[in-house]
Chain A
Amino acid sequence: MANEYVLETRGIRKVFPGVVALDGISLRFRPGSVHALMGENGAGKSTLMKILSGMYKPTEGIVLYKGVETEFNAPIESIRLGIAMIHQELSPVPHRSVMENVWLGREPLIKGTPFVDHRKMHDDTKRLLDDLELSIDPRIEMAKLTVAKMQMVEIAKAVSYNADVVIMDEPTSSLTKGEVEHLFRIIRRLREQGKAIIYISHKMDEIFAISDEVSVLRDGNYVGTYPAAELNTDKLIALMVGRELNEMFPKVECPITDVKLEVKNLSSPGAFQDVSFAVRKGEILGFAGLVGAGRTEVMETLFGIRHKSAGSVLIDDKPVDIRAPEDAIRHKMALLTEDRRLSGIFPMLDIKDNMIMAVIDRYRNRLGKFLNHAQIRNECGEYRHKIKIKTPSLEQKIMNLSGGNQQKVLVARWLMSEPEILILDEPTRGIDVGAKAEIHTLITNLAAKGKAIILVSSELPEILGMSDRIAVMREGRLTGIVERKDATQEVVMKYATMKP
């Protein structure tokens, strides 16, 4: 009889300078089961998974794999033993093909030679992708894929290891509904094959849809393990947060006045065509749509990152010519980009510097040349407190923060800059429920100050809860704009899937 548990941790403790990330964590994972790991940002989920995948060594405690005490000294060791992991913060090797990314580190060789068998690599990748119903060319360069497609390739790669334990650290943070369903089909199949899946996500509905068991961590401590059937959202949140939560979408009605930004017939070849909309001061305009609908591309074009081929943009009724982000910033626009890994954080700089990056001028002291560090510390401290950025100090390098906490720093950067037009592309990606509510409050407060806000999000409840109006896109076209009072999940989905 095989072990009841394929993987077990006993008393795992992990200390980073100034932080106890994990303190005495004992967990057990069953084969043929999906085990969700829940906890607020910085609770220690990723750290624990990195210990299981050989990236970190625990300060104390042991890991048992198939009943045997095992030390993982490098990722390759845990891969060899049968533990595959999709990393939260991992970006792929950008200028290499999909197939080279999938087989990285274990390229097949032509028998009896030291040469890589490209044909086999291609065919195996094709079979793998076909099998997972992914229509991606194995030869295409990774950097040419959308973030969502890249994520699906990472998932395919994890599957291809045929590992007994598959760890997924927020695999859905850049996926939309259809792809999440797709992922769930893959996960169910893995479960039927007897694999143990460890699943991390901040999205409650996903947890209840897919998991068999749920373990909760809070501040590096173990709270408990529960059958998913015995939990509901409120109970789970209470376990994670250890306190009562504010209302989720604290939308306050605030006066909506003049049109601030108007976009007429904007097009960018290959991305979207003929997009027109307007945002007023004090208004939050939501952007909904399935993946590949072109929402991010529209925002990039507005901000001058992407070329426009046609159309005009008006700010305060005056036509403006935005060719580069500098122009956009001059017109008091700000953009929180969708992908913090590629365009957002300055990994080696500390939290403070990352936060004030967009508003450095504000902190020049009386002499005009030097920065007023006391003021910087104060205001950063205020945001740190408000959205609960978990860190030993503001001088911590941002790359040492948990994923969700990095995102919080970025959100703080753009909220602090108080632009006239704020574009937020997936602002709460990877952020836990508690902090999400705080960020929603901050966004609403900005709207109340008369700023025009565009909110792109793949989470429908967020869009529905926060927006005054919702623009829906499908395959590069704007299919409709829905008023708040008419907006329901069904209406938005109808526009998101209808033929333009």
Chain B
Amino acid sequence: MNGKENIKQFFGKYGIYLVLVVMVIIMSFLSPVFLSQDNLLNVVRQVSVIGVISLGVTLVIISKGIDLSSGSTLALCAVMAASFGQAGDWAAKMYPSLPELPVIVPILVALGVGTLVGMVNGLLVAKTGIPAFIATLGTYVSVRGLALLYSDGRPVSTLTASYQFIGQGYVFGVPVPVILFFMLALITWVVLNHTKFGKNIYAIGGNIVAAEVSGVNVGRNLVKIYMYAGMLAGVAGLMLSARLNTGQPGMGVAYELDAIAATTIGGTSHSGGIGTIQGAVVGALILGVLNNGLNLLGVSAYWQQIIKGAIIVTAVVIDMRKNAKKK
């Protein structure tokens, strides 16, 4: 193998990390504030909600599926968790007779509701055989409706201190959402790379017939994949409501698209069987640096959108080129 070939391989493998590094370098020249510890932590904290969603979405996309319902699931989990986590002395509580509950209650509510929505997605995909796009488009619409119905279209505000800690607290100077994001990334990485479940996800996305005839229970695994993704959307709902001290039925609109973007930028292929958690994390960070940087530079929100879209497409084009023309 010659040098040129090696360089090409190197870029193919690590290109996305280089993009992040280059972006950080450029930003640090353009804006002196950028590299400050506060700002960097801020960047990561801002992407942590999207990041957590993208971890689950990565599993879904590797299995050759898609999940459009994460944003709605986030909202439903946020209002429901919040309704069980309101401060005891708040006058406009959703359940006025409810005493102040320990934080574990809203946590379990968020995880449980998220997992349940995921299970519905998974069952639709696995049992009816309709495309994941359609199944999750359905839940995307209905679950948002559920969130509105549950909260009667109103915010569920003023949460207990321990609830707020999930979104606003610090441990050893690191924001709790950041810690959650990296911990969940690590767990998901282990699940994907070191368990049978993970191997099955790759196999189902890579060649579903091969998986089936090798004795993989495709249906059950699909349900598990969507349940996991739904659960992480629940965690994201918890994080966001805790950070804003309110659960709102209109939260998380279009978050699923950002999560899909992060995953895709990170090299996960929509043709299935290819993708990594590292990639999703880096993809989320790239989106974060981009947002933060453009904000610091005072670029208008309209332009930010245009640039973001262009970057997403460019990243995927670069990624595709590495897969094509192997010969």
Is B a genuine binding partner of A? yes
Number of interface residues of A (CB under 8 A): 31
| Nearest CB of chain B from residue A73's CB, rounded to whole Å | 12
Task: State A96–B275 Cα separation when bound (angstroms).
Answer: 11
Q: Does A371 count as interface, using CB distance less than 8 angstroms?
A: no
Q: Are B273 and A95 in contact (CB under 8 A)?
A: yes
Q: Are A94 and B215 in contact (CB under 8 A)?
A: no
Q: Are B196 and A94 in contact (CB under 8 A)?
A: no
Q: Are A53 and B196 in contact (CB under 8 A)?
A: no
Q: Does B195 count as interface, using CB distance less than 8 angstroms?
A: yes
Q: Are A93 and B194 in contact (CB under 8 A)?
A: no
Q: Does B239 count as interface, using CB distance less than 8 angstroms?
A: no
Q: Does B202 count as interface, using CB distance less than 8 angstroms?
A: yes
Task: State A92–B207 Cα separation when bound (angstroms).
Answer: 7
Of residues 45 through 85 on chain B, the ones whose CB sits less than 8 Å from some CB of chain A are none
Task: State A114–B196 Cα separation when bound (angstroms).
Answer: 8
Q: A107-B199, A116-B194, A306-B327 are in contact. Are A95 and B215 (CB under 8 A)?
A: no
Q: Are A109 and B207 in contact (CB under 8 A)?
A: no
Q: A96-B273, A104-B199 are in contact. Are A91 and B210 (CB under 8 A)?
A: yes
Q: Does B89 count as interface, using CB distance less than 8 angstroms?
A: no
B200 contacts which chain A residues (CB < 8 A)? 105
Nearest residue, chain A, Cβ from B327: A306
Q: Are A307 and B327 in contact (CB under 8 A)?
A: yes
Q: Does A87 count as interface, using CB distance less than 8 angstroms?
A: yes
Q: Are A55 and B213 in contact (CB under 8 A)?
A: yes
Sorting the interface of chain B by its residue count into under 10, 10 to 19, 20 to 34 or 35 or more gives 20 to 34
Q: Are B327 and A115 in contact (CB under 8 A)?
A: no
B213 contacts which chain A residues (CB < 8 A)? 53, 55, 75, 85, 87, 90
Q: Does A76 count as interface, using CB distance less than 8 angstroms?
A: yes
Task: State A96–B200 Cα separation when bound (angstroms).
Answer: 11
Q: Are B215 and A105 in contact (CB under 8 A)?
A: yes
Of residues 275 through 334 on chain A, the ones whose CB sits less than 8 Å from some CB of chain B are 300, 305-307
Q: Does A100 count as interface, using CB distance less than 8 angstroms?
A: yes
Of residues 197 through 217 on chain B, the ones whose CB sits less than 8 Å from some CB of chain A are 198-200, 202-203, 206-207, 209-217
**Binary contact track A72-95/B, C-beta < 8 Å → 1, others 0:** 001110011000010100111111
Q: A104-B211, A105-B216 are in contact. Are A96 and B206 (CB under 8 A)?
A: yes
Q: Are B327 and A300 in contact (CB under 8 A)?
A: yes
Residue B215 contacts which of A76, A92, A118 (CB distance < 8 angstroms)? A76
Q: Does A106 count as interface, using CB distance less than 8 angstroms?
A: yes
A305 contacts which chain B residues (CB < 8 A)? 327
Q: Are A75 and B202 in contact (CB under 8 A)?
A: no
Q: A94-B206, A307-B327 are in contact. Are A114 and B195 (CB under 8 A)?
A: yes
Nearest residue, chain B, Cβ from A101: B210
Q: Does B166 count as interface, using CB distance less than 8 angstroms?
A: no
B211 contacts which chain A residues (CB < 8 A)? 93, 104-105
Q: Does B274 count as interface, using CB distance less than 8 angstroms?
A: yes
Q: Are B212 and A92 in contact (CB under 8 A)?
A: no
Task: State A96–B193 Cα separation when bound (angstroms).
Answer: 12
A90 contacts which chain B residues (CB < 8 A)? 209-210, 213
| Nearest CB of chain A from residue B117's CB, rounded to whole Å | 25
Task: State A96–B204 Cα separation when bound (angstroms).
Answer: 11
A107 contacts which chain B residues (CB < 8 A)? 196, 199
Q: Are A104 and B195 in contact (CB under 8 A)?
A: no
Identify which of A93, A96, A107, A305 gathers the most chain B CB atoms within 10 Å of its CB.
A93
A101 contacts which chain B residues (CB < 8 A)? 210
Q: A116-B196, A305-B327 are in contact. Are A104 and B217 (CB under 8 A)?
A: no
**Binary contact track B179-199/A, C-beta < 8 Å → 1, others 0:** 000000000001000111011
B195 contacts which chain A residues (CB < 8 A)? 114-116
Task: State A496–B214 Cα separation when bound (angstroms).
Answer: 37
Q: A116-B196, A306-B327 are in contact. Are A94 and B216 (CB under 8 A)?
A: no
Q: Are B207 and A94 in contact (CB under 8 A)?
A: yes
Give the interface of A toward B (CB within 8 A): 53, 55, 74-76, 79-80, 85, 87, 90-96, 100-101, 104-107, 109, 114-116, 118, 300, 305-307
Can you list 28 A-B pairs with a CB-CB distance of less than 8 A? Answer: A53-B213, A74-B212, A75-B213, A75-B215, A76-B217, A79-B214, A80-B215, A90-B210, A91-B207, A91-B210, A92-B210, A93-B202, A93-B207, A93-B273, A94-B206, A95-B273, A100-B199, A100-B202, A101-B210, A104-B199, A104-B211, A105-B200, A105-B211, A105-B214, A105-B216, A106-B214, A107-B199, A116-B196
Give the interface of B toward A (CB within 8 A): 190, 194-196, 198-200, 202-203, 206-207, 209-217, 273-274, 325, 327
Q: 9 smallest A-B Cβ distances: which pairs? A: A76-B215, A93-B206, A105-B215, A105-B214, A104-B214, A115-B194, A105-B216, A75-B213, A306-B327
New A-B pairs, 6, CB < 8 Å, besides A93-B203, A96-B203: A92-B210, A93-B207, A96-B206, A106-B214, A106-B215, A115-B190
